[in-house]
């Protein structure tokens, strides 16, 4: 019994080691789980960046889409932009939300770097962003044809992230 | 008379809650206190170690404005918190709810405390066991060592 008690510190050390090791391994501690998964996309009525017409939630439904929240003030959005162009080239429907941004700047950006979006909703005050629980652009939502949010990714889209998302996206088709 | 009017005007002025240089006017000082309390208790999702009152991140400012707006609509504290939790998740609360998946969070410290008490009790029990008396053989060895020590000291 005495001998066994001597091993307690070692066992505690080992347990803490495992806990900290797992903690270190968690890739991105800043991305929080979204409570919106499985819920309908929030209602909106917003102008479109490209031509100013007004769209509503009904326009989003019908076919699955990647809904990408971006802004010209967001450096990571620039980093992921060429990958979005590539995805659009593969026929994936991407809807943009131009979050807390200026329409003119957004138009210039799309002209300069290409426009992978089916259309861009202009959300200058971040109202739709707040409904979506956006706290750090870029954020991307997978929305199915019924308008239900299926998944969310915080941070840039890149081939590695897309590898895990595309299965889910494929399942929505 | 003029002074009386001035006094009445002074005391009927709305109250302001001021956060990060932004003024939030309230008719009722109690509401201003509620607002400040909510901003203290809600967590900024961007800068994860600050509450809405401390953070100057743009998203924290948006959420403060939303809390203010909801309060102006007559929403209760619970309704305001629920509104934000529905969109940003439990993370925005500094006080997580007691649920099955938060059981370890709430019960963890109690479990650790009980383990500690158990460990302490085990150690104490071991220490309190009486030391057994020396056997005849051990006594003889001790005597031999003692007499050797005496001899060495005398020589």
Is A21 among the domain residues?
A: no
Query: What pLDDT was estimated at residue A43?
Result: 92
Count of the separate structural domains present in chain A: 1
Is A61 among the domain residues?
A: yes
Is A7 among the domain residues?
A: no
Sign of CA dihedral B78, B84, B85, B87: positive
Is A99 among the domain residues?
A: yes
What letters, b where the CB count within 10 A reaches 16 and e where it falls short, cover B62-77?
A: bbbebbbebbeeeeee
CB-CB contact of A153 with A69 (8 Å): no
Residue B9 has pLDDT above 70, yes or no: no
pLDDT bracket for residue A1 (50, 70, 90): low
Contact A7/B at CB under 8 A: no
How far is Cα A88 from Cα A122, in angstroms, rounded to an integer?
20
Query: What pLDDT was estimated at residue A9?
Result: 87
CB-CB contact of A152 with A164 (8 Å): no
pLDDT bracket for residue B24 (50, 70, 90): confident
Label residue A132 exposed, middle or buried (CB < 10 Å: 0-12, 13-18, 19+): buried
Contact A5/B at CB under 8 A: yes
- Report the residue of chain B nearest A126, measured CA to CA: B62
Give Cα A22 to chain centroid, integer Å. 25
Average pLDDT (B24-52) is 86
List pLDDT tens digits, range A38-75.
899 999 999 999 888 999 999 988 899 999 999 999 99
Contact B86/A at CB under 8 A: yes
| pTM, two decimal places | 0.72
Q: What angle do CA A23, B49, B68 make, to 5 degrees?
A: 135
Q: Which domain holds residue A48?
A: 41-172
In angstroms, the Cα distances linking B108 to A16, A20, B93, B113 are 14, 16, 19, 9
Domains of chain B, earliest start first: 2-92 (1.10.8.640), 100-154 (no CATH)
Cβ neighbors of A19 (< 8 A, separation 6 or more) are none
How far is Cα A63 from Cα B62, in angstroms, rounded to an integer?
32
ipTM (interface predicted TM): 0.76
Contact A47/B at CB under 8 A: no
Q: Which residues of B touch A133 (CB under 8 A)?
A: 45, 87-89
- Report the residue of chain B nearest A100, measured CA to CA: B58
Q: Which residues of A touch B47 (CB under 8 A)?
A: none
Cis before residue A138, ω within 30 degrees of 0? Answer: yes
Beta carbons of B45 and A135 less than 8 Å apart: yes
Which of A66-70, B17-21, B61-65 holds the top average pLDDT?
A66-70
Query: What pLDDT was estimated at residue A31?
Result: 67
As beta bridge partners, residue A122 has A98
Residue A83 has pLDDT above 90, yes or no: yes
pLDDT bracket for residue A28 (50, 70, 90): low
CB-CB contact of B35 with B77 (8 Å): no
List pLDDT tens digits, range A121-162.
999 988 999 999 998 889 999 999 999 999 899 888 889 889
First to last CA, chain B: 113
List pLDDT tens digits, range B41-50.
888 888 778 8
Place of tokens 């383990």: B115
Query: What pLDDT was estimated at residue A93?
Result: 92
Closest CA of chain B from A5, distance in Å: 8
Closest CA of chain A from B16, distance in Å: 23
As beta bridge partners, residue A94 has A66
Average pLDDT (B78-91) is 89
Q: Which residues of A touch B123 (CB under 8 A)?
A: 5
Size of the A and B interface in Cβ pairs below 8 Å: 40
Query: What percent of chain B is modeled with pLDDT above 90?
Result: 21
Comparing B14 with A147, which gets the higher pLDDT?
A147
User: What's the token pair of residue A70?
Assistant: 């971006």
Q: Looking at residue A118, which CATH number applies to its domain?
A: 3.40.30.10
> What is the number of residues in chain B?
155
Beta carbons of A32 and B119 less than 8 Å apart: no
Residue B13 has pLDDT above 80, yes or no: no
Contact B97/A at CB under 8 A: no
């Amino acid at each position: 019994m005495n001998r066994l008690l001597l091993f307690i510190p070692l066992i505690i050390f080992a347990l803490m080691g495992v806990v900290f090791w797992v903690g270190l391994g968690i890739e991105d501690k800043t991305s929080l789980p979204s409570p919106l998964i499985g819920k309908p996309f929030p209602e909106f009525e917003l102008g479109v960046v490209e031509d100013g017409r007004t769209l509503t939630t009904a326009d989003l439904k019908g076919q699955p889409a990647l809904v990408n929240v971006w802004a010209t003030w967001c450096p990571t959005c620039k980093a992921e932009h060429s990958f979005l162009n590539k995805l659009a080239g593969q026929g994936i429907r991407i809807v943009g939300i131009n979050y807390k941004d200026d329409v003119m700047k957004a138009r210039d950006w799309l002209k300069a770097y290409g426009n992978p979006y089916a259309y861009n909703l202009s959300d200058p005050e971040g109202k739709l962003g707040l409904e979506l629980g956006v706290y750090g652009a870029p954020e991307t939502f997978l929305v199915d044809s019924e308008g239900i949010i299926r998944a969310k990714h915080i941070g840039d889209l890149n081939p590695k992230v897309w590898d895990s998302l595309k299965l889910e996206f494929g399942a929505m088709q | 008379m003029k002074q009386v009017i001035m006094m009445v005007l002074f005391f009927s002025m709305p109250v302001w809650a001021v956060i990060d240089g932004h003024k939030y006017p309230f008719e009722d000082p109690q509401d201003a206190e509620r607002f400040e309390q909510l901003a203290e208790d809600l967590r900024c999702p961007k800068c994860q170690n600050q509450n809405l009152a401390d953070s100057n991140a743009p998203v924290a400012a948006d959420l403060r404005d939303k809390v203010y707006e909801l309060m102006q609509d007559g929403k209760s504290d619970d309704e305001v918190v629920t509104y934000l939790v529905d969109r940003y998740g439990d993370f925005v609360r500094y006080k997580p709810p007691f649920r099955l998946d938060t059981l370890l969070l709430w019960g963890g410290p109690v479990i650790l405390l009980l383990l500690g008490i158990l460990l302490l009790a085990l150690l104490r029990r071991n220490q309190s066991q009486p030391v057994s008396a020396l056997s005849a053989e051990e006594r003889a060895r001790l005597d031999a060592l003692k007499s050797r020590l005496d001899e060495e000291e005398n020589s």
